[in-house]
Structures are given as structure tokens and as C-alpha cells.
């Protein structure tokens, strides 16, 4: 959406950083403000208790929360840009942030946009790499200790490190720690969306002929995570079948 005049960049407290973690949020806010200052874009913050009082399944509902917070800018903006997760060729549905849901969350006075879906996450990192302030202040971590910075070791931190390496870029200081093949092999992708993002990294690294031990480790990690996710889905289906039988229900027959 390069044609849009950006009214503000918004950081929300109460989603990945809880309301009671003010020190972590303040640290994240300083970094975010510095990044936006380099682009001459105003910075704003929002606090919400939505996650603690209304959220039942974060992975399926987070987009609704973000879109609702951005409606605070009604009258000043006619478009809300929410960064895409997967690119259009790798969409995982159902998922809390996707172009279908955002279209349904739009109204006549505010269009909610799945922004950047034409680019893979690794391609975005390649573009980001030319933005010094953005790389310096990059924050992706949500599983590690809540500090307002990246832990460097959780699934998303490790995955983002591979995004950089897949395009031949150096690891930024904002992502601490070394990336070893063993750490890549032990990445735990807990859902199909994370598997799709790992698969994207592997495809781009192979396409660009990146020959490194972490790429081989990623190949085996993908195989492991696909098998584990399939086994988990089978276990859920098996449990649902047992529950159905316990109720005395049977599938309809002709």
C-alpha cells in the first residue's frame, strides 16, 4: 500500500505484551518509535484488555482484536493496514489473520487490508535489510521472556534468523545468539501456519543455492514437524470419535 499516506504506526499493549508488563512495553515502544521516526511516521499506542476478557482462541481471533483497535482512527484514516502472515500462495486457513477475514471486518468507512500478501516473509526480510532503523529495532519474539526485546531462541526468533540467512544477509544484533543446525533441527512448529513459513524459508534458500548446514537441518526439521502435526491431528480426531461413541452417537448411514 505504498500509495497510502500513513497517519500513524500503532503498537498495542495487552496482546503479545500483557497489560501488567509496563517495562517490557515501554522498551518495545521506544524501539518502535525510533523505527517510525526514521520514516517520519507518527507513533501511537493502544491499551486493551480484550485478550483477558474476550479471547477464547488467540490463533483464530487476533486479527479481530487488531482491526478493532485500529478503528480508533476512524475519521482520520479510511484504511487499516495489518501485516500479512503467509503470502497468498501459502495461505493457511482457518487463521486469525487472512484476507478473507479482514475483508469481512471492513466497513464503508474503514477498509481492513491484509498488507504485503504478495511477498513471502523471507522476501520482506530482504527488503527490510536495507532499512537500518527497522533492522536495529526489529522485534518478533512472543514466546521468550517478556522483555520488549527478542530472546533469540524461541521458534519465531530462530525462524526469523533463517529468513535473513536465506537471502544471504547477516544476522542483526536485534536477534541475539548463534544459529546452530541443532537449534534449527529442534524448532517446534506447533501449527500448520508455522510449518508453511518454515517451508517458505527452505524453498527460497534452495532456490538461491544457499548451501549451509542449517538448510539441511531445516529439511529434517520440516519432516519432523509435519509428522508431529499429522499425529496430533489424528489424536484429536481419535479423541473426538471416542467422545461421540461415549454419547451413544453413530454416523448416519443410508
User: How does pLDDT run across 210-244, given as a tens digit for each residue?
Assistant: 999 999 999 999 999 999 888 877 666 656 656 56
Distance in angstroms (rounded) separating the CA atoms of residues 24 and 149: 8
Is residue 205 within 8 Å of 215, Cβ to Cβ?
yes
pTM value?
0.89
For 198, the grid coordinates are 518454515
**pLDDT grade, residue 150 (50/70/90)?**
very high
**pLDDT grade, residue 4 (50/70/90)?**
confident
For residue 240, CA distances in Å to 48, 60, 235, 246 come to: 35, 20, 9, 10
Query: Omega of the bond prior to 150 within 30 degrees of 0, cis?
Result: no
CA angle (39 as vertex; 35, 44 as ends), nearest 5: 60
Q: What is the pLDDT of residue 188?
A: 93
User: How does pLDDT run across 157-184, given as a tens digit for each residue?
Assistant: 999 999 999 999 999 999 999 999 999 9
User: How does pLDDT run across 47-97, given as a tens digit for each residue?
Assistant: 999 999 999 999 999 999 999 999 999 999 999 999 999 999 999 999 999
Distance in angstroms (rounded) separating the CA atoms of residues 239 and 234: 9
For 81, the grid coordinates are 493496514
* Backbone angles phi and psi of 10, in degrees to 5: -115, 130
Distance in angstroms (rounded) separating the CA atoms of residues 98 and 93: 8
Q: Evaluate the CA torsion angle 183, 186, 190, 191 in order and state its sign.
A: positive
* Extents of the domains making up the chain: 1-118, 139-245
Distance in angstroms (rounded) separating the CA atoms of residues 213 and 125: 21
Amino acid at each position: 500500500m505504498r500509495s497510502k499516506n500513513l497517519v500513524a504506526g500503532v503498537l498495542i499493549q495487552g496482546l503479545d505484551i500483557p497489560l501488567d508488563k509496563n517495562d517490557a512495553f515501554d522498551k518495545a515502544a521506544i524501539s518502535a518509535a525510533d523505527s517510525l521516526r526514521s520514516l517520519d511516521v507518527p507513533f501511537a499506542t493502544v491499551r486493551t484488555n480484550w485478550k483477558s476478557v474476550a479471547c477464547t482462541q488467540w490463533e483464530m481471533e487476533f486479527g479481530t482484536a487488531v482491526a478493532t483497535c485500529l478503528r480508533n482512527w476512524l475519521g482520520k484514516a479510511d484504511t487499516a493496514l495489518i501485516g500479512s502472515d503467509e503470502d497468498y500462495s501459502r495461505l493457511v486457513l482457518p487463521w486469525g489473520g487472512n484476507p478473507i477475514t479482514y475483508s469481512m471486518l471492513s466497513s464503508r468507512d474503514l477498509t481492513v487490508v491484509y498488507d504485503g500478501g504478495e511477498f513471502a516473509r523471507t522476501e520482506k526480510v530482504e527488503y527490510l535489510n536495507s532499512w537500518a532503523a527497522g533492522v536495529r529495532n526489529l522485534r518478533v519474539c512472543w514466546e521468550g521472556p517478556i522483555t520488549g526485546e527478542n530472546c533469540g531462541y524461541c521458534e519465531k526468533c530462530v525462524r526469523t534468523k533463517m529468513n535473513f540467512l536465506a537471502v544471504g544477509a547477516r544476522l542483526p544484533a536485534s536477534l541475539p545468539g548463534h544459529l546452530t543446525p541443532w537449534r534449527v533441527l529442534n524448532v517446534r512448529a506447533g501449527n500448520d501456519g508455522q510449518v508453511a513459513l518454515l517451508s517458505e524459508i527452505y524453498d527460497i534458500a534452495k532456490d538461491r543455492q544457499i548451501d549451509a548446514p542449517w538448510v539441511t537441518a531445516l529439511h529434517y526439521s520440516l519432516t519432523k514437524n509435519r509428522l508431529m502435526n499429522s499425529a496430533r491431528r489424528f489424536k484429536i480426531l481419535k479423541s473426538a470419535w471416542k467422545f461421540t461413541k461415549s454419547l451413544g452417537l453413530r454416523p448416519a448411514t443410508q
